[in-house]
């Protein structure tokens, strides 16, 4: 199909998002759909906020990706370092970050593999920003967060693990994650509107993520919504990246094509293999895979992988169907209480698959 036909082909999918905006599930949505090597849809709906006077979004509008940072930046950086022989997935974190050892002998067993697979034993989240006022202090806090379970025995999605993973990768590369990713990933792929810490001129062109009444006590627009990443200066392994649906579609196509110019297909295959343990996991390395029920809907195959972001972002990629769906919203506006996107997102993905006639793989 031609992208000119998108309103006819995907009208039900677009209507689902439009209804979400009308029901104030999120003010804005920008999406891109790749199928069989082509961009078949690029659509933006809504405005920066619910006010009629606010700016309309476009296909090139930038959004706070939140935890999509974990796959687009941090996991991709890990892939590059793995390909170069600089990252041994089974080596312990303490070899790179000896401060992590503490006085718990179990911490020495935490490997890079476990951090990427979210099975390190570290907890999901800690409000480190309440105890640290700058990047160095927050990293020192992260290095001492106690393990919640024995390493390798339980899958628990962990921001703390990816904060530490990002720090370790920076030490390996001897370069900050933002600079490394710009040179090795975003630049080669032509992702010209993807960055940490946006230039000042770009910030007003980003839909606001939140009206923060509790911590920063100001409107959050063009700066990272996540408080821990904010204290880290907006550059972190777990959050901080901004991008457009069009740029993420470019990244998704590279992943569908086996890694594009950044990594070899066998590296992609290694990172996308679903983990066989712990028993409760749905994770690959960095990425998630469909579980039931899934935010990817009913149709994405077991060859699929994806990730969500707290601000209302998502990317799901199905290698079997050669399909990638990018959806960016600012569902955290004006605050984080609205969870309606959890019901909307699966319906949207189902409508996309049905519009393309791909219900059967």
Q: What is the CATH number of the domain that holds 237?
A: 3.40.710.10
Instruction: Examine the pLDDT at 2 and tell me if it is beyond 80.
Output: no
Instruction: Examine the pLDDT at 1 and tell me if it is beyond 80.
Output: no
pLDDT at 274: 96
Do both 172 and 144 map to the same domain?
Answer: yes
- Say if residues 307 and 296 touch (Cβ distance below 8 Å): no
Choosing from 125, 145, 177, the residue where a domain stops is 177
Residue 281 inside a domain? The answer is yes
pLDDT at 4: 86
> What average pLDDT does range 258-287 have in this prediction?
96
- Say if residues 120 and 114 touch (Cβ distance below 8 Å): yes
Range of the structural domain that residue 147 is part of: 73-177
pLDDT at 280: 85
> What average pLDDT does range 302-320 have in this prediction?
97
For residue range 45-88, what is the model confidence (pLDDT) as tens digits? 999 999 999 999 998 899 999 999 999 999 999 999 999 999 99
Do both 48 and 80 map to the same domain?
Answer: no
Do both 231 and 110 map to the same domain?
Answer: no
Rounded percentage of the chain residues whose pLDDT exceeds 70: 100
Do both 213 and 64 map to the same domain?
Answer: yes
321/34 Cα distance (integer angstroms): 10
> What average pLDDT does range 230-259 have in this prediction?
98
> What average pLDDT does range 234-243 have in this prediction?
98
pLDDT at 60: 86
Cis peptide before 125 (omega within 30 of 0): no
Confidence (pTM): 0.98
304/322 Cα distance (integer angstroms): 10
Choosing from 121, 144, 177, the residue where a domain stops is 177
For residue range 112-135, what is the model confidence (pLDDT) as tens digits? 999 999 999 999 999 999 999 999
Q: Helical H runs in the chain? A: 6-9, 11-22, 69, 76-83, 112-117, 135-143, 159-173, 177-181, 187-189, 200-203, 227-231, 245-256, 265-272, 341-355
Q: Would you place residue 262 in the very low, low, confident or very high pLDDT band (cuts 50, 70, 90)?
A: very high
Q: Would you place residue 167 in the very low, low, confident or very high pLDDT band (cuts 50, 70, 90)?
A: very high
Q: How many domains does the chain have?
A: 2
For residue range 319-357, what is the model confidence (pLDDT) as tens digits? 999 999 999 999 999 999 999 999 999 999 999 999 999
pLDDT at 292: 87
117/274 Cα distance (integer angstroms): 9
């Amino acid at each position: 199909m031609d992208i000119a036909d998108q309103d006819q082909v995907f009208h039900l999918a677009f209507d689902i998002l439009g209804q979400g905006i009308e029901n104030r599930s999120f003010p804005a949505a920008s999406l891109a759909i790749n199928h069989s090597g082509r961009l078949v849809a690029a659509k933006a709906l809504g405005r920066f906020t619910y006010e009629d006077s606010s700016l309309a979004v476009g296909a090139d509008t930038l959004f706070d990706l939140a935890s999509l940072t974990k796959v687009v930046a941090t996991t991709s950086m890990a892939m590059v370092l793995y390909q170069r022989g600089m990252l041994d997935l089974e080596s312990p974190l303490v070899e790179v970050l000896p401060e992590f050892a503490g006085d718990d002998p179990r911490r020495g067993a935490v490997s890079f593999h476990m951090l990427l697979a979210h099975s390190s034993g570290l907890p999901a989240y800690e409000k480190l920003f309440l105890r640290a006022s700058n990047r160095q202090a927050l990293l020192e806090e992260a290095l001492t967060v106690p393990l919640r379970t024995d390493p390798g025995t339980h899958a628990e999605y962990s921001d703390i693990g990816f904060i530490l993973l990002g720090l370790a990768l920076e030490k390996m590369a001897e370069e900050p994650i933002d600079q490394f990713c710009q040179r090795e990933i975003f630049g080669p792929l032509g992702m010209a509107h993807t960055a940490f810490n946006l230039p000042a001129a770009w910030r007003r062109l980003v839909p606001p993520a939140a009206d923060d009444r509790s911590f920063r006590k100001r409107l959050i627009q063009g700066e990272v919504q996540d408080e821990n990443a904010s204290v880290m200066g907006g550059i972190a392994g777990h959050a901080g990246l901004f991008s457009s649906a069009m740029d993420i579609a470019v990244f998704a196509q590279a992943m569908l094509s086996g890694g594009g110019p950044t990594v070899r297909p066998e590296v992609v295959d290694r990172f996308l293999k679903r983990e066989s343990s712990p028993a409760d996991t749905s994770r690959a390395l960095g990425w998630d895979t469909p579980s039931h029920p899934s935010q990817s809907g009913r149709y994405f195959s077991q060859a699929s992988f994806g990730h969500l972001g707290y601000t209302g972002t998502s990317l799901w990629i199905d290698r079997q169907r050669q399909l990638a769906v990018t959806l960016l919203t600012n569902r955290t506006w004006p605050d984080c209480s609205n969870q309606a996107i959890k019901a909307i997102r699966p319906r949207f993905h189902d409508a996309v698959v049905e519009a393309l006639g791909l219900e059967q793989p």
